[in-house]
Structure 1
């Protein structure tokens, strides 16, 4: 085994030297760090992990990306269809103390240590079996993409980074081709709870002319500049930005407050529609074209949940929102230069589906015809079942379905803060992504792309977790959580335009979803949430089959021609 380690180490060193000499992009492994709840990957201005997009040179090649509770983070395995022997994905093996204390270059070889020694450590493990049949002839929805949200909290943290290279790593980690390959982004129209204070445009009482909307608000100046930098350094080719407002200026509301039981005054229905149009022009003029807007964030917060929600909100009922959409917002947008923009409805929880849209149509017949899509927040998915979505797709079958907000830490029984290294939270993401994609959703936008160690900043202490956590003691590093990699197993190899195809496992040992990509390659997500290793016999209706063994508590993305 010592000779195997030495030879592999020399090979990796040679690859690194070739990379440095040739100046070509190479995959860079995660720099693992143990935290209270598991393992995170550390990024600094000088070092951050990336995974080159795989290149398949033969039609029988397959490529597998793997992450596990034990410590794999986008580890790779390659082989070919048609081989009789089983291929084993080797799980991460904790390095020895000598290795842990070695140089930075030695730490890059952690995966080599795992390759050399892990096989022996798994000989006595329990192994279950499953077959997974992929059928590209049975197709479903076309994917729009995946993304995260750029809030005031993100802007504040990035602005405090000691070196700009750290921000560039954050941007490339999410939106770069060698990162997660995101193409969607949600931004706030005005402020939200993840800001240092509530704010909007046109805050001066009675400013129906919206006189300050020709220029960026001071809150938006840095954020817009940062997003433009993100586009530049990540190389994202078609960034689709979705905007949503938490609240109008208080003077437009019945309670004249940012929060509480407050709805839009009827006298300002057209003004609020004009506000959205002016914001679209403002973003366009400042180099951020907008792909979509919604009718407002979580409309029930301002009419039913005002005793629990202390942050900015604007209350709507389906009846009042139907009037505003049908008589004001819809015509204003459709008769403007932004007539082709995507309009999303609801931006709230499952329990409001599909009744919200049915009641809108009762108030203003066919009012939801103005909507191209319906957006959902995931927070009560585990309480309210799939039937809410199934009834919605039956009622409105031609709408784009998108999850537009997700995070963990919002429930009374959850820690309202980051749990650094939590694999359990990564599994929650994986389960919900799989469930909603199989229900027909076309895309997913997570909440804040980064937060601090407390789960903020947030001006009402509405703290939660995030896939990336910034070390605010130094502002010189950030940590990629297991959640980051769980999301990436869906986003990285499933570009915009991919079409979901049938992926049917033979038993409950495996959960999976598969896609036919625009380049005619197949991408499949394989989730083994069990405590046993799993032999997967993958059977493709065209290509054939192979057998692969994956470790317990692991998630994988498969790519083949």
Structure 2
């Protein structure tokens, strides 16, 4: 809404602003007040609230809620969470690109900044002795598919422990244009470890015709309703893709959902039919699918001690199943429109695991991309992504799972409320992988409870949002804001361009919307502030100070 300047003598807006300005002890409002004064877009009802707040000396918490800023809470780690509930949740809002002579920074930091917006004039020289970020527009690579998270049983079940109003705030903060605009979501096909029980959609032994196939209560009452509500508020269409953890136990060689076991070869066709039935059932409920992965972490199914749902596939068996069964079955059902991704495991499987499939034209014709998880990133160099892309340039790479808390000493360490260290690790890996051809990043559980569950295998984990159903509130972790620095600004269809940093503690990744709009995400891992100069060869420089332990998204026009 745009409110015109009041006529002479009606100066209640200015009076409210002046009263509010005199209030001390409130940080982070300078830009807001300046904006209000400059364009007078203050609705009358807001002006009255501002006036009352200033007059009554409202608390910092109350004023944050009024303007939807972070309500911080400390839980003993190196940063804070932002608390949301039925009546309040901070969101960055809809941010327009600045005028051509300026650039905008959106910054989050260990010290508590959360999507802080600053607009600065461009300059004609770089800051002396600064960290220089070089952007090379002539070296373009992949286009982005998107960013998002997984709608697991655990996420959906935990969400529904909140009141309806708090649920709405959760959905808006993830999916709306006012929030961080998730557009790419993974959906487990039946149960995973992040469920309350192991199950499939047809646990009637020997039902090879799948007469008893049916979605579970988890889908009907929780996951699908969440998806439909997300679709209503989403700023862009949501791309859903399904991933199986395990076939029905009776289809496997070990007769179990977990541990070491493969799909019985006589079950290859029933299992392909199961995929079709899953897609049909979800789409009949209004949840249109965009893609599928063939198997979550297929090599885990050869581990006798693997505690949760899995199924073992050699690369050769996967190749043969795709070309003789799954691919033709999807095509016959009119589902070749779906994106089909293989691997769905860590970097250490590249490129050797996907080579037999992608080198076989009869299998490769049904495959669109390689799905990758992040769990071996610290041990396996990102060059394997480059190698895979060079071998199969017509197949994309997409990161489809990541989470923190999976490699801790005990379950009490799984959730670390307010950990910037974990957020920084995420940011570093996302930047690294985007600089090595990945076309997006899909987080694991969108939400978990305060223990990091529910999880039937006791594989407790961390999440960008932790839900406390008893208190009817949820906590947006630093992880959430790191994801938002990408998902909100690096939108589907933008193109990666080359960039580099002169400082080993500062990392960057750059994108173009067109020749006129540029997005750069920059991470400072150092303990000290870094003066930064962005040089894209245009003759203008973007000079600014990047706080210690901070991430910023830079937006500007040529």
**TM-score bin, normalised by smaller chain:** 0.7 to 0.9
Question: Which residue matches 1:103?
Answer: none
Matched, 1:466 2:489: no
Q: 1:274 to 1:318 in 2, by over 3 A?
A: same
Measured in 2, the distance between the counterparts of 1:195 and 1:137 equals 47
Q: 1:342 to 1:520 in 2, by over 3 A?
A: farther
Does the 8 Å contact 1:453/1:472 carry over to 2?
no
Question: Which residue matches 2:160?
Answer: 159
- Aligned length, in residue pairs: 512
Question: Which residue matches 1:356?
Answer: 353
Does the 8 Å contact 1:513/1:525 carry over to 2?
yes
User: Aligned to 1:345, which of 342, 347, 363?
Assistant: 342
Superposed counterparts of 1:40-189, under 5 Å: 40-56=81-97, 58-82=99-123, 129-161=130-162, 163-189=163-189
Report the CA distance between 1:195 and its aligned residue: 0.6
Q: Secondary structure at the match of 1:272?
A: helix
Question: Which residue matches 2:209?
Answer: 209
Question: Which residue matches 1:21?
Answer: 45
Question: Which residue matches 1:6?
Answer: 22
Question: Which residue matches 1:196?
Answer: 196
Matched, 1:306 2:304: yes
Report the CA distance between 1:409 and its aligned residue: 1.6
Measured in 1, the distance between the counterparts of 2:548 and 2:67 equals 25
Q: Secondary structure at the match of 2:257?
A: coil
Does the 8 Å contact 1:318/1:360 carry over to 2?
yes
Report the CA distance between 1:237 and its aligned residue: 2.5
Does the 8 Å contact 1:191/1:200 carry over to 2?
yes
Does the 8 Å contact 1:375/1:403 carry over to 2?
yes
Does the 8 Å contact 1:293/1:343 carry over to 2?
yes
Does the 8 Å contact 1:373/1:400 carry over to 2?
yes
Q: Secondary structure at the match of 1:356?
A: coil
Superposed counterparts of 1:545-560, under 5 Å: 545-560=541-556
Unaligned runs of 5+ in 2: 1-17, 48-65
Q: 1:80 to 1:13 in 2, by over 3 A?
A: closer
Question: Which residue matches 2:388?
Answer: 392
Measured in 1, the distance between the counterparts of 2:459 and 2:120 equals 47
Measured in 1, the distance between the counterparts of 2:178 and 2:336 equals 35
Does the 8 Å contact 1:273/1:329 carry over to 2?
yes
Matched, 1:373 2:414: no
Measured in 2, the distance between the counterparts of 1:145 and 1:414 equals 33
Segment drifting more, 241-250 vs 388-397:
388-397
Measured in 2, the distance between the counterparts of 1:134 and 1:414 equals 43
Question: Which residue matches 1:532?
Answer: 528
Does the 8 Å contact 1:408/1:414 carry over to 2?
no
Measured in 1, the distance between the counterparts of 2:543 and 2:347 equals 38
Q: Secondary structure at the match of 1:147?
A: strand
Q: 1:338 to 1:293 in 2, by over 3 A?
A: same
Question: Which residue matches 1:422?
Answer: 419
Does the 8 Å contact 1:185/1:241 carry over to 2?
yes
Measured in 1, the distance between the counterparts of 2:480 and 2:436 equals 23
Measured in 2, the distance between the counterparts of 1:240 and 1:372 equals 15
Measured in 1, the distance between the counterparts of 2:461 and 2:218 equals 22
User: Aligned to 2:71, which of 31, 44, 52?
Assistant: 31
Segment drifting more, 56-65 vs 478-487:
56-65
User: Aligned to 1:492, which of 488, 491, 494?
Assistant: 488
Report the CA distance between 1:140 and its aligned residue: 1.1
Does the 8 Å contact 1:27/1:50 carry over to 2?
no
Q: Secondary structure at the match of 2:548?
A: coil
Q: 1:546 to 1:312 in 2, by over 3 A?
A: closer
| TM-score of the superposed pair, with normalisation by structure 1 | 0.86
Q: Secondary structure at the match of 1:254?
A: coil
Question: Which residue matches 2:272?
Answer: 273
Measured in 1, the distance between the counterparts of 2:535 and 2:357 equals 46
Q: Secondary structure at the match of 2:365?
A: helix
Q: 1:273 to 1:473 in 2, by over 3 A?
A: same
| TM-score of the superposed pair, with normalisation by structure 2 | 0.87
Measured in 2, the distance between the counterparts of 1:53 and 1:540 equals 26
Question: Which residue matches 2:240?
Answer: 241
Q: Secondary structure at the match of 1:380?
A: coil
Q: 1:389 to 1:138 in 2, by over 3 A?
A: closer
CA RMSD of aligned residues (A): 2.6
Measured in 2, the distance between the counterparts of 1:19 and 1:195 equals 46
Measured in 1, the distance between the counterparts of 2:435 and 2:488 equals 18
Q: 1:541 to 1:375 in 2, by over 3 A?
A: same
Question: Which residue matches 1:262?
Answer: 261
Does the 8 Å contact 2:336/2:366 carry over to 1?
no
